[in-house]
Amino acid sequence: MFAVYLGISIFFTKHLYLGSQINGINVSGKTVTAVKVQLLSELKGYTLNLKERGGKSEQIKAEAIGLKYNSDEEIQNFKDEQHPLKWAASLFNKKSYEITSGIEYNKEALKEQVDKLSAFDNSNIIEPKNSILKYTDNTYMLVDEIKGNKINKDILLKRIEEAILKQETTIDLESSGCYINPQYTSKSQKVTDARDMLNKYISTKITYAFGEHKEILDGSTINKWLSADDNFNVNIDEKKVKAYVESIANTYNTVGKKRSFNTSSGNTINIGGGDYGWKIDINKETNNLIAAIKSGQTITKEPEYVQKASSHGSSDIGNTYVEIDMTKQHLWFYKNGSLVVEGDVVTGNTSLNNTTPGGIYRLKYKEKNATLKGEDYSTPVSYWMPFNGNIGIHDATWRSVFGGEIYKTSGSHGCVNSPYPLAQTIYENINAGTPVVCYY
């Protein structure tokens, strides 16, 4: 038995242990020279297969990149470390007799081979695209992403180098993470959250009430104001919302617009100008509308107003107003449809270009015992009711006569001079905001 063991030991003086492996290749019982021949043969036939998307494959061959071993000394050292008399130990601990031997290749040649792959031909590249949100049939739908086939060259090159050194024969580009994939897919949480948010926004239904008239705003319009950026952050275009509010303001605001007015003299006139009427607060209503959309509300509401008129409809003056016919120099005051008081007045001096302007105005406030001041006067009055800047209705006790054509040469600075009882009665029955209709 000793002779047999010794004989086998003599064999292993020139041969590798059983179970010896170099780069995963079985070289059991072979001489160093035989191993070199075997490894060289293995390298010559080496081909790295690249498994691409769509069932396509491409290859990189050993000769194209100058693949060779640079490890003759390592193989000899590997053999020298195996003591012939200890050959039996290799039968029980094979993993102790494995090495990875050095491999060389031309890196520039490898890069050229990679560049030549059809996968990098621009005509073959399909760019990856994120999932998108599409509005159709009154809802937002998800359109699936496009995975494409664009490869990250740096990642692929690194993975190929690793495979060559390990003598792997196949790389699956998909599982190796070599592809540039869409950042967002139809299953990404951010994408589905954006879809749900957009659908909540377009579920909004707002009915604006303008008396008998209605304006309905719903998803068919709101969707045109919505967008999601590249990171699927949902945005409401404030400029477009504001433009919508401005459009309804242009339709329903009445400040300065002409209206049909039935005068106390029995005539029907068209009168415009002044500051009386409905006026929507554009900025506030824009903010209110955005908040309503974000909440997905279904409501009937009036817009936010800067100021309101007495009623909606063809005439918003209502049945409480002051009427001043400046041609006849006469004033009427109606309250809830009933005539409270009327009388002659004196308006602005036309010869001095102090003409009282026509139009429909809002009474700004009323004040007792005020002092009216100008460049050349300071006049106390008992009842002061301004409706157009510094122009207002007030008592004029310094006058004994009113009406007629006094205003043409001896009129006021623009105010409506009234007899004391007329001014007093108006003052006691009028409120701020009451329309004052002035016309010639």
Q: Could you tell me the two tokens for 422?
A: 């007329």
Q: In whole angstroms, give the CA distance from residue 44 to residue 307.
A: 91
Between 72 and 266, the higher pLDDT residue: 266
Taking Cα atoms as reference points, which of 357, 320, 326, 348 lies closest to residue 412? Answer: 348
Taking Cα atoms as reference points, which of 225, 224, 206, 226 lies closest to residue 216? Answer: 206
Asked, colleague to colleague, whether 190-307 and 321-439 share their fold, the answer is no
Give yes or no for residue 41 having a pLDDT over 90.
no
Q: In whole angstroms, give the CA distance from residue 308 to residue 55.
A: 72
Q: Which CATH architecture best describes the domain 321-439?
A: Beta Barrel (2.40)
Task: Report DSSP letters for 400-427, one per residue.
Answer: S--STTHHHHH-BSSSEEE-HHHHHHHH
Query: Looking at residue 419, what is its pLDDT?
Result: 98
Q: Give the position of tokens 């780069």.
A: 23
Give yes or no for residue 322 having a pLDDT over 60.
yes
Contact 326, 349 (CB under 8 A): no
Give residue-wise pLDDT tens across range 234-284: 999 999 999 999 999 999 999 999 999 999 999 999 999 999 999 999 999
Amino acid identity at 6: L
Taking Cα atoms as reference points, which of 21, 27, 19 lies closest to residue 94? Answer: 19
Maximum C-alpha span of the chain: 156
Active-site residue, 83 included: no
Query: Looking at residue 35, what is its pLDDT?
Result: 72
Residue 64 CB neighbours (<10 A): 16
Q: In whole angstroms, give the CA distance from residue 33 to residue 332.
A: 127
Strand, coil or helix: what is 278?
coil
User: Per-domain residue ranges for the chain?
Assistant: 2-124, 190-307, 321-439
Q: Categorize the per-residue pLDDT at 76 as very low, low, confident or very high, splitting at 50, 70 and 90.
A: confident
Give yes or no for residue 211 having a pLDDT over 80.
yes
Per DSSP (E only), the strands in 100-162 are: 103-104, 132-136, 139-143
pTM, full prediction: 0.77
Q: Categorize the per-residue pLDDT at 43 as very low, low, confident or very high, splitting at 50, 70 and 90.
A: confident
Active-site residue, 438 included: no
- Return the CATH fold of 190-307: Ubiquitin-like (UB roll) (3.10.20)
Query: Looking at residue 17, what is its pLDDT?
Result: 79
- Among 178, 394, 413, 438, the active-site one is 394
- Among 15, 178, 413, 415, the active-site one is 415
